[in-house]
Every structure is written in C-alpha cells, then in structure tokens.
C-alpha cells in the first residue's frame, strides 16, 4: 500500500471516528436523558413502587442518568471542537473517571440484586419470599453505593491527564494502575455481575415454571365455585411478575452485550501500550475505542424503551401517567381560561360604570 493511500485511509478512519464520537453520542445523550428521566418518574409511581424489585430498577435508572450526564458532555464537546476538556485538566479527569466507574458499578450491581430479588419472590419457599422486601432493598442500595465509591476511590490517584502513548489522554499513570483497573472493571462490572445475573435469571425461570405447575395441580383439585375473581387476581399478579422478570432479563442481556467489548479491548490496550504502532493501527484502535465507548453508553440509555416495549405493567403505568397528565393539563388550562374570562369581564364592567 502506497503512502498516499495509507494517509488517505488514516484520514478517512479518523474522520469516521470523529463523526461517530459526535453524532451517535449526541443521539445517545438526548434519548438517554429523556429515557432515564421517564424511567425515574414512572418507576416512582405508587402502583409500581409496591414491588421491592422496582427499588433496584429505580436506583439503576438514577445511576444510568448519572453515567450519561458525567460521561457524555465532554465527548460531545470533543467531537465538535476536536479537544476534550477532560483530557486537558487533571482534576476533571480524576473526578470524571471516579464518578463514571462508581455509577457504572452501582447501576450494574443493582440489576444483580434485582435479579436475586426476582429469584426470592418467585420461590415456592416462604422464607425465601420474605427476603424480598423494601427494607432489605433499601439496605442493599445503600451498601452497594458505599462500596462502589470506596472501590473506585483509587482512580483519583491512578488516573491523570496528559498521558503519552495512551489511547485517550485521561488514562492510568502506570502499567500497574492500568492492569489493576482493567481487572477490577472487567471482573466487577462485566464478568461477575453477568454470571450472577445469568445464574439467578435461570433460577427465576425455573421457580416460575415450578410455581405454575403447583398452582395448576392445586387449583384443579378445588371446586371452581366462587373462584373466578381470585383467579383473575392471581393471573394479573402473575402477569405483572412475569413482565418484570422479562424486563430484567432483557436488560441484563443488553448490558452484558454492551459492556463485554470494552472490557476485552481495555485489556488489549493495556498490554500493547508499549508496542510501537503504525499511524494506521493507531487510527483503527481509536475508532474501536470510540465505538466501544459509545456501545457502553447505549446500554445505559435505552432501558426505558426496553421496558416500554417489553414490560406490560410498565407500559400500562406509563399510559395511565400520560392520561393523568393530560387531564391535569386540561383542568389547569381550563382554570386559567376561566380566570382570564372573569378578569376581562371585571375590566369591562369597570369601564362601563358611570363616572361620578
């Protein structure tokens, strides 16, 4: 390949990488903020908040909103002016990595505990079902948040701006820091959570199948007299539980799919950082870095759209919230219109009064 062709390829790859870094990240930023804010509003509704699993969903959505607000604005700026302010300021670099990794850990592990809560609640054993409670959920959320911030406090000392020969300027200072961070990130945000979510997800599906078989045998042995109302209620509760389980499992698959490529590529970058690379190879690696970073943010940006498409209970609550908001707006606008008419009527009456 000639030098001119190589130079053209490098420029083309860098241009595509820059466009990817700006437009896709901008798209993810807008829809991620809207989706997570709607998640927080809908999951805060009393009809859903009665379920302890919703507490974990709510906490995970809040952490995902934090990830998007902390991680994406600087990348959007970098895509527009070709200079990331985080890469040129040591304090911003350290704080961004600290909060970004902490929120990622919180978001992921809250989903792990949501999966475990689903397993508890779907169990046929009473003592396990009692472990699914709001009190335990609140305690777990507090513990996860504290441990996540403690886990990543080392990034304040390990990361710095202006790191030479690094894929991004805000990077680990030494190989020891990089290897440690890569191992912790891959194990505690990707591998261990994914395995736990897979295990408890399969156990939840098994519990649901067992409870269905037991319910079928039990209720077939009882007379159908005066059972119609209770059957409908049980079907509605079971439908809600299955809907929440499907929402959770689909998000687990999505989050794992979006996180694994970055974890693998992070190890590759760490172990090849001292190798002399051609400009073409550096351009390709930068493109992959931008793509993997975009992929991880997508996993935190679209849970709302997954819940809406896949979660019956979530979708119904969302529709009811829209109808309630429309009714409130109609009442509010009607009240404003009525007050305006009264005000205009009073002004006209004052004008028509004879001057004494």
More confident residue, 320 or 218: 320
Q: Look up the CATH number of domain 1-217+236-310.
A: 1.20.1070.10
Average pLDDT over residues 217-232: 47
Q: Where in the chain are the domains? A: 1-217+236-310, 313-355
pLDDT at 19 over 50: yes
Mean pLDDT, range 257-263, rounded to an integer: 78
Q: How far is residue 269 from each of residues 84, 218, 330, measured CA to CA in Å?
A: 20, 58, 57
Contacts 24+ apart (CB under 8 A), 251-256: 251/111, 251/303, 251/306, 252/111, 252/115, 252/194, 252/197, 252/198, 252/201, 254/299, 254/302, 254/303, 254/306, 255/108, 255/111, 255/194, 255/299, 255/300, 256/190, 256/194, 256/197
* Average pLDDT across the chain, whole number: 78
Residue 10 has pLDDT above 80, yes or no: no
Q: How far is CA 352 from the centre of its chain?
A: 63
DSSP assignment letter at 83:
-
Identify any residues that bridge with 172 across adjacent strands, giving them in sequence order. 159
232-250: per-residue pLDDT in tens? 555 555 565 666 667 677 7
pLDDT of the residue at 221: 46
pLDDT digits (tens, 9 = 90+) for 43-81: 888 887 888 888 998 999 999 999 999 988 887 777 666
Pairing of strands 159-160, 171-172: antiparallel
pLDDT, position 220:
47
Can you spell out the DSSP letters for 6-54? Answer: HHHHHHHHHHHHHHIIIIIHHHHHHHHHHHHHHHHHHHTSHHHHTSHHH
The pTM of the full predicted model, rounded to 2 decimals, is: 0.81
Contact yes or no for 190/263 (Cβ under 8 A): yes
Residue with the bigger pLDDT between 100 and 264: it is 100
- Across-strand partners of 160? 171
Higher pLDDT, 16 or 181: 181
Token pair for residue 107?
């978001």
Distance from C-alpha of 139 to C-alpha of 54, rounded to nearest angstrom: 14
């Amino acid at each position: 390949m000639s030098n001119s062709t190589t130079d053209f390829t490098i420029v083309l790859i860098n241009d595509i990488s820059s466009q990817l870094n700006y437009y896709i990240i901008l798209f993810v930023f807008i829809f991620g903020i809207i989706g997570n804010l709607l998640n927080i509003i809908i999951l805060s509704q009393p009809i859903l908040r009665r379920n302890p699993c919703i507490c974990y969903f709510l906490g995970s959505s809040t952490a995902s909103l934090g990830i998007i607000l902390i991680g994406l604005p600087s990348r959007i700026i970098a895509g527009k002016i070709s200079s990331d302010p985080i890469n040129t300021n040591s304090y911003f670099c350290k704080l961004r990595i600290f909060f970004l990794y902490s929120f990622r850990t919180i978001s992921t592990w809250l989903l792990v505990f949501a999966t475990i809560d689903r397993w508890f609640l779907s169990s046929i054993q009473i003592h396990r079902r009692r472990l699914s409670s709001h009190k335990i959920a609140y305690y777990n959320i507090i513990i996860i948040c504290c441990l996540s911030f403690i886990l990543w406090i080392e990034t304040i000392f390990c990361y710095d701006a202006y790191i030479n020969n690094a894929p991004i300027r805000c990077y680990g200072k030494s190989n020891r820091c990089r290897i440690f961070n890569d191992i912790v990130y891959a194990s505690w945000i990707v591998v261990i959570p994914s395995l736990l979510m897979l295990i408890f997800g399969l156990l939840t599906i098994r519990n649901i199948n067992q409870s269905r078989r037991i319910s079928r045998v039990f209720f077939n042995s009882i007379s159908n007299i005066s059972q119609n109302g209770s059957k409908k209620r049980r079907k509605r509760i079971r439908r809600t539980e299955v809907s929440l389980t499907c929402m959770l499992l689909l998000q687990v698959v999505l989050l794992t799919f979006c996180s694994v490529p970055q974890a693998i590529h992070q190890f590759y970058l760490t172990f090849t950082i001292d190798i002399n690379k051609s400009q073409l190879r550096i351009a390709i690696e930068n493109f992959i870095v931008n793509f993997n970073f975009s992929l991880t943010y997508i996993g935190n940006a679209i849970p709302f759209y997954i819940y809406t498409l896949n979660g019956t209970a979530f979708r119904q609550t969302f529709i009811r919230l829209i109808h309630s908001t429309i009714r409130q707006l109609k009442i509010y606008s009607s009240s404003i219109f009525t007050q305006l008419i009264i005000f205009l009527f009073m002004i006209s009456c004052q004008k028509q009064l004879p001057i004494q």
